[in-house]
Amino acid sequence: MLLALCVPKPALAPLGWVALAPLCLAVLRTAQLPSPRGARPFMLGLVTGLVAFGGTVSWTSEVLAVFGGLNLAVSWALTGVLIAYLAIYPALFSVMLTATVARAGPQAVMLAPVVWVAFEWLRGTVFTGFPWVLLGYSQSDTIAPLQVASLVGIYGLSALVALPAAALALLLAPGPRGRGHGRIAATAIGVVALAWAWGAWRVGQQALFDGPIARVGIVQGNVPQDQKWDPAHRDDILRRYLDLTRQVAALGVDLVIWPESSTPFVFGRDALPTEIMRAAVVRAGVPVVFGSDEIEGAGDRFYNAAFLIDPSGEVRGSYRKMQLVPFGEYVPLRSLLFFAQPLVERTSDFSAGERVTLLPLGGHKLSVAVCYEAVFPWLSRQAVRDGSQLLTTVTNDAWYGRSAAPYQHFEQARVRAVETGRYLVRAANTGISGVVDPYGRVLVRSPLFETGVYTGEVRWLSGATVYTRIGDSVPWACMLVTVLLIVVWRWPVRPRWR
């Protein structure tokens, strides 16, 4: 329950620092049993995962029912399968930690952050990955500790947040307390305090504000999902976006950003609306980044793409989405999902882009993450390593309604700004749109389901954070330690409980 409560919504960030303590304490108790290899460790982690993910991703049932065309029973069944799959990772964490504590004694519970991050990273990687609501995201709105992400990324931040929980469990461990338990717990709390103090110092330096200034405009079209691809609404939708673009261009912005799939037609393929849009951009006199489908060749390959049009109406670059959404943009194991045929039929079969492509603008370069891609740290890191001076995200969160998902998506995207030391501009069809500075502070934030334009000031930044240089070295190290612990499993159990 603590894991569910510490992320949006309700985003009770302080709970994140102790969220793993109950599970760690249960592991300590289980490790004292005569046979700690039974099903109990797995079930402890599984129940933890079922409750945590049931409280954070259950919004997928509404998406499947409303937009996937499934009846309520099937949509909840599929959501249950997703939740059960995600719960396997905390279950494996519990098994691994129990076995380690049974062999090495209660102090080994301090390896919980390492093992937790290893399985978080696996969840974010295998089967295309689902790095949603990681433990570190509980601190996305707590600016001082959030700065740790600039050193070790979101997974390193997860490890830091898990540390006090392990220390608390060690202090509450059953049986006689070892003389070193207090010192170990105090050291862990000291590490957290030091990281918090360093983060506050980093923000106070204001060192990431030395680049050229640009004023950006965000267009939030607020187009209902059931109208986006209805031909009867095509002209009205295009007119809305063009009117809003003229409105924000009049405010003196240097760049306008539309959301994902904002054009109600295939840009470049549908000639008339494409020319109307080009002419409107020329009249507005401002470059526009926008999302649209892209068709390659004779139409056998479709891409979810983002384009940049300059004030002359010419396309200066495009980016094809690389990290596709399962069951949203393609259907894995399509032939086996006979019971979810409406969902299979409604899901577009997009192709994935092959590389990160930067969009040039007036001697600068920006990168685009399309929707779901904003939760994959490696994409924004690669973009910055390739020369991106500004991060942008275009998304359509209309699917999520007023659930916790739009808030989760926004909070996760803002961490990319801290990791890479870049401003982030986010344009969402129905919100949340906004501007985030390189320290993770939200400068502009739009409400949900309101049509409007929003402006903010950003800077074209260069340089690289430590995380940009070393990448996900922390989760790799955690994986290595976890593999070594598996090797130790071959040794006979010799409990070291005092």
pLDDT at position 44, please? 97
pLDDT at position 337, please? 55
Indicate the pTM of the whole model: 0.93
Report whether 346 contacts 389 (CB < 8 A). no
Q: Please report how the helices 149-171 and 473-488 are oriented relative to each other, as an axis angle in degrees rounded to 10.
A: 40
The pLDDT tens digits along the chain (498 residues) read: 999 999 998 999 999 999 999 999 999 999 988 776 679 999 999 999 999 999 999 998 888 877 777 788 888 998 999 999 999 999 999 999 999 998 888 999 999 999 999 999 999 999 889 999 999 999 999 999 999 999 999 999 999 999 999 999 999 988 766 668 999 999 999 999 999 999 999 999 887 788 999 999 999 999 998 888 888 999 999 999 999 999 999 999 999 999 999 999 999 999 999 999 999 999 999 999 999 999 887 667 889 999 999 999 999 999 999 998 876 676 665 555 545 455 444 556 788 999 999 999 999 999 999 999 999 999 999 999 999 999 999 999 998 989 999 999 999 999 999 999 999 999 999 999 999 999 999 999 999 999 999 999 999 999 999 999 999 999 999 999 999 998 876 666 555 554
| Closest by Cα among 290, 259, 255, 288 to 459 | 255
Q: What are phi and psi for residue 89, nearest 5 degrees?
A: -70, -45
**Residue 240: its H or E element:** helix 234-249
Q: What number of CA atoms fall less than 13 Å from residue 138's CA on the CB side?
A: 26
Integer Cα distance of 100 and 448 in angstroms: 46
Q: Which one of 260, 294, 373, 411 is the catalytic residue?
A: 260
> Is there a catalytic annotation at residue 371?
yes
pLDDT at position 495, please? 56
> Is there a catalytic annotation at residue 373?
no
Beta sheet of 359-361, edge-to-edge order: 359-361, 364-370, 390-395, 424-428, 434-436, 442-445
Integer Cα distance of 276 and 165 in angstroms: 58
Note the maximum CA span of the chain.
79
Query: Across the strands, what pairs with 393?
Result: 369, 426
Q: Which one of 365, 371, 373, 419 is the catalytic residue?
A: 371
Per-residue pLDDT tens over the stretch 44-57: 999 999 999 999 99
> Alpha-carbon torsion 113, 119, 120, 125, what sign?
positive
pLDDT at position 342, please? 53
| Closest by Cα among 460, 462, 461, 455 to 215 | 455
Joined together, the tokens standing for residue 39 give 């099903």
Q: Phi-psi region for residue 185, left (φ > 0), alpha (ψ -120 to 50) or beta?
A: alpha
Q: Please report how the helices 473-488 and 72-104 are oriented relative to each other, as an axis angle in degrees rounded to 10.
A: 60
CA 478 to chain centre: 20
> Alpha-carbon torsion 221, 227, 230, 233, what sign?
negative
Q: Which one of 24, 120, 228, 321 is the catalytic residue?
A: 321
pLDDT at position 348, please? 61
pLDDT at position 180, please? 81
For tokens 């399509």, name the residue. Answer: 334
> Is there a catalytic annotation at residue 321?
yes
Residue 282 burial (10 A CB sphere; 0-12, 13-18, 19+) = middle
pLDDT at position 354, please? 92
Domain spans, the chain: 2-206+471-488, 213-328+336-461
**Residue 394: its H or E element:** strand 390-395
CATH for 213-328+336-461 (3.40.190.10, 3.30.1050.10, 3.60.110.10, 3.40.190.80): 3.60.110.10
Q: What number of CA atoms fall less than 13 Å from residue 485's CA on the CB side?
A: 25
Per-residue pLDDT tens over the stretch 371-404: 999 999 999 999 999 999 999 999 999 989 899 9
